[in-house]
Amino acid sequence: MVRNRVLLVLLLAGLAAVPSLGFLTLAPNRLVSGVPIGLAAALRQGGEALLIPAALLAAGPFLPQRRATHAAMALAAAGFLLLLVRLAGSEAALLAASAPPIASISLGGGFWLLLFVASLALSDAMRRLALPVWATALLGAAICGALALLLLSGALDALAILREYTARRSAFGAALARHVLMVALALLPTVLVGLPLGIWAQRRRGLAGWLFPLLNIVQTIPSIALFGLLLAPLSTLARLFPALAAWGIGGVGLLPAVIALFLYTLLPVVRDTAEGLAGVSPAALEAGRGLGMTPGQLLWRVELPLALPVILSGLRIATLQAIGLAAVAALIGAGGLGAIMFQGLFADALDLVLLGVVPIVLLALAADLLFELGIAYAGRLPR
Amino acid sequence: MIELEHVTKRYGAACAVADVSLTIGAGEFCAVMGGSGAGKSTMLKMINQLIAHSEGTIRVDGQDVRAMAPAALRRRMGYVIQSIGLFPHWTVARNIGTVPELLGWAASQARDRAAALLEQLKLPPGEFLDKYPHQLSIGQQQRVGIARALAADQDILLMDEPFGALDPITRQALQAEIAEIQRASRKTIVFVTHDMDEALRLASRIAVMDRSRLVQLGTPIELLTAPKTDFVRNLVGRDDLGIKLLGIALVASRMRPGEAAPGEPIAATASLRQALSRMVAEGRDRLPVAGADGAPAGTLHLGDLLRR
């Protein structure tokens, strides 16, 4: 009597992963590959608590599908997620106690798969609950807060990814700040240029006829190639005008990265601005005009507010795209979390790669949630 | 006063309005009648320049509309459309306050005005001021649409098939409201409709448009008794011409004052058509008439309906 197939499939996938993939990996040092440590061993050493949410989740597919069940599944999945992370930390601490200090204890494939399964089970339960966005955001914030507490308490310090962090604490902070700065610097001109362009494109078919194909072509250029394309003109500029170089303007560094991100993020903003404006009810427009609004008043009072949810969803795509692409910009010396990631890739140190990638994913998730809230608020008013 | 002199609107080779000349005096209720595609909406929208005319001159209160900034011109007149077009992101109060806000009124003054207009249009302000358009029925929405057009109390009101999307009961109620508003405020109203009964009921003059041209301009009685073309004749209807004639005359105009009769009285402001309907339904040849105060005013006989 299966009542929730999605959850059942997730559970079976998780179950299959436990024996075949290591929960943690113990290596003599950070550069050589290590031996897998199974979840069973970890469970025997203080991980029993994990079995409680696991048992709840296992019962889930067979329970009557009521709101109470979905709520219990959401809590069980969230609890499983947090306990899983804590268990990884405590098991790593136990292993570290009996291993040489240079030994490296990484998160194994089994951990990642179980984390993935738990996240999907959580999102499945949340979808079935159909809570308002603010409640979802609250739960997300609570989970993030609990993870942050785990991090700060030192419970995870024995894991290699945190050892990598400890070794580069200040560099990590600077990289994170640089990453956010790069995204912000790119999005500012995107909004300043993209909004007017979108408005203009919606009003003039002629402009839209060549602007959108052009922006689409920019999107198809691989990011590395675009950075390369910008390298030549910008370095020439810096050579011709040494004063510019003194300002940090050149073929490599922050500026070409910001320009490339700006070009990439222009399309979603321009397209969704135009689309949002095109979706405004013709009756409201006629009424606004007929009552004596000037074109500017009509734009600010009627068109933009009504198009706002669509414009925000374009801006959301742009932001997520910028956060991801900014990682690649490290290749042209723009810094950011991508620099840590590439350092790890070139050194073959997986945990260092993760130290760069995990915060990028978290940044993207946080931005996504913020936009979700903003769009829900802007769309709260009826269309 | 609105004057159109030899006004033409062309779209390429096609002509939407052809050489229309028409003067609508201050305080007049002018209905513009015609089938779909006859050019009646285009004519209305040229008055507030939502559509620019190709030839001719349009003057509002003596001023050429082309000489005025479009927004300034439109703020001099109220505007109601069939699709209503309330701003969905604004409350009823803010919707009604659109033009007052554009004219720079204080917020509290605009809100008081909105409340007064809702009261007048029979929507309790306490209940409706802070609602959003999607919370209202279509009929309530159009009441708000009319309140919005009346908010700044301009002398001119343009209405483009305002009741076209409403059910018959709501439509009749709103027709009564707009007739009352016009009686009380003497606004100049230009009212586009394709419903002859509506035009006959409300208008002091009717302009009939057929295939882009103005084919007849006259009072309801002139249209009914002396249609100039076959189109107008078909429009006013041959079968129920007599009924339509009764529909545009009031009981007060035919009653015998001072005479008394038994039975439920009919209001002096009711139409003769309503009186006839009651006589037929109740099987009686005379009805007592009540004045505005409800006191007996006279009697209406069946034969009185035939007098001219």
**329-348 in chain A: CB under 8 A from chain B:** none
A383 touches chain B (CB under 8 A): yes
**Below-70 pLDDT ranges, chain A:** 244-252, 380-383
How does pLDDT run across A121-168, given as a tens digit for each residue?
A: 998 888 888 888 888 888 888 988 898 888 888 888 888 888 888 888
Domain positions in chain A: 5-163, 169-378
Mutation for A interface: B84, B87, B105, B153, most A CBs within 10 A: B87
Chain A residues with beta carbon closer than 8 angstroms to that of B49: none
CATH code: domain of residue B23: 3.40.50.300
Residue B186, SS3?
coil
CB atoms within 10 A of CB B234: 11
Q: In the listed set B191, B214, B240, which residue is the last one of a domain according to the structure?
A: B240
- Tell me the shortest Cα–Cα distance from B103 to chain A, in angstroms: 10
Residue finishing a domain among B195, B223, B240: B240
ipTM of the complex: 0.85
DSSP state of A302: I
| B88 part of contact set with chain A, CB < 8 Å | yes
Residues B232 and B256 in one domain: no
Give me the pLDDT at residue A245, please. 67
Domain co-membership, B112 together with B259: no
CATH number at residue B269: 3.90.1280.20
Q: Are residues A271 and A234 in contact, defined by beta-carbon separation less than 8 angstroms?
A: no
Q: Look at residue B116 in the predicted model and tell me its pLDDT.
A: 94
Residues of A in contact with B79 (CB under 8 A): 287, 290-291
Nearest beta carbon to residue A381 from set B89, B98, B149: B89
Angle, helix B107-120 to helix B138-150, in steps of 10 degrees: 130
Q: Is residue B288 within a helix (H) or strand (E), and if so which, with residue range?
A: strand B286-290
Same domain for B34 and B180, yes or no, is yes
Which two three-digit tokens encode residue A298? 């009509």
Q: Are residues B289 and B161 in the same domain?
A: no
Residue A348's H or E segment, with its range, is: none
Residue B250 has phi, psi (to 5 degrees) of -95, 155
Long-range interactions of B174-179: CB distance < 8 A, separation 24+: B174/B139, B174/B142, B174/B143, B174/B146, B175/B201, B175/B202, B177/B121, B177/B122, B177/B143, B177/B146, B178/B146, B178/B202
Q: Is the domain covering A169-378 a CATH 1.20.120.530 domain?
A: no
Please report the pLDDT score of residue A382 as a whole number: 47
CB A197 within 8 A of CB A266: yes
Show the low-confidence residues of chain B (pLDDT under 70): 308
Domain edge (last residue) among B186, B211, B240: B240
At B298, the amino acid letter reads G
Question: What letter does residue B188 receive in the DSSP assignment?
Answer: E
Quick check: B74 and A294 CB within 8 A?
A: no
Looking at the structure, tell me whether residues B234 and B256 fall in a common domain.
no
Preferred mutation among B44, B89, B150 to probe A, highest tally of A CBs within 10 A: B89
What is the reported pLDDT for A219? 83
Q: Which residues in chain B touch residue A279, judged by CB atoms under 8 angstroms apart?
A: none
Taking one residue from A and the other from B, the number of pairs with CB-CB distance under 8 angstroms is 70
Select from B78, B96, B74 the least CA-distant residue to B86. Answer: B96
Domain coverage including residue B278:
249-306
Number of independent structural domains in chain B: 2
Nearest CA in chain A to B47: A290
- Return d(Cα B308, Cα B302) in angstroms, integer: 13
Asked if residue B104 and residue B186 are part of one domain, the reply reads yes
pLDDT digits (tens, 9 = 90+) for A212-268: 888 888 888 887 788 777 777 777 777 777 776 666 666 667 788 888 889 889 999
Say whether A281 and B86 touch across the interface (CB within 8 A). no
Structure tokens belonging to residue B248 = 């545009």
CB contact under 8 A, A290 and B74: yes
Chain A contact for B81 (CB, 8 A cutoff): yes
3-state DSSP call for residue A30? Answer: coil
Q: How far is A283 from chain B (nearest CA, A)?
A: 4
Closest C-alpha to B2, from B42, B48, B68: B48
Residue A235: predicted pLDDT: 74
Residues 218-257 of B with CB under 8 A from A: none
Question: Do residues B268 and B119 share a domain?
Answer: no
For B208, the enclosing helix (H) or strand (E) is: strand B205-210
Residue of B96, B85, B237 whose CA lies nearest to B162: B85
B84 touches chain A (CB under 8 A): yes
d(CA B220, CA B203): 7
Backbone angles phi, psi at A248, to 5 degrees: 90, 15
Query: How many other β-carbons are positioned within 10 Å of the β-carbon of residue A338?
Result: 26
CA distance B208 to B33: 5
Element at A163 (helix H, strand E): helix A160-167
Q: A98 exposed, middle or buried (CB, 10 Å; 0-12, 13-18, 19+)?
A: exposed
- State whether B205 and B274 are in the same domain: no
